[in-house]
Amino acid sequence: QVQLVESGGGLVQAGGSLRLSCAASGRTFNNYAMGWFRQAPGKEREFVAAINWNDASTLYADSVKGRFTISRDNAKNTMYLQMNSLKPEDTALYYCAARSPTTSRYDSWGQGTQVTVSS
């Protein structure tokens, strides 16, 4: 069973930076994709970024391109989200998720870490 634990959230001023981490355990992640999602109060959960565990190819939402960078450390089974030039609209609960190659769905989720950006 896949387990995902996020960390690194916090309160930061607009223009600042944070780095989120997602520690994954429970299996090997060959052929998995891992992603970051976020949900702001009163809004639906939205995709932020994803990375292929094998070749590290990446995908970003338009709203974060050029500001956020997703990466992974295979040896540590950990994924990261470096967030720069943060804006108040980035305020949300950030989740990491794993997409199984069997189901092609994000079917494993962490509990989330809060990011708050003050203006």
pLDDT per residue as tens digits for the range 13-41: 999 999 999 999 988 888 899 999 999 99
pLDDT per residue as tens digits for the range 63-110: 999 999 999 998 999 999 999 999 999 999 999 999 988 889 999 999
How far is the C-alpha of 95 from the C-alpha of 21, rounded, in Å?
Answer: 10
As a three-state string, the secondary structure of 16-85 is: CCEEEEEEEECCCCCCCEEEEEEECCCCCCEEEEEEECCCCCEEECCCCCCCEEEEEECCCCEEEEEECC
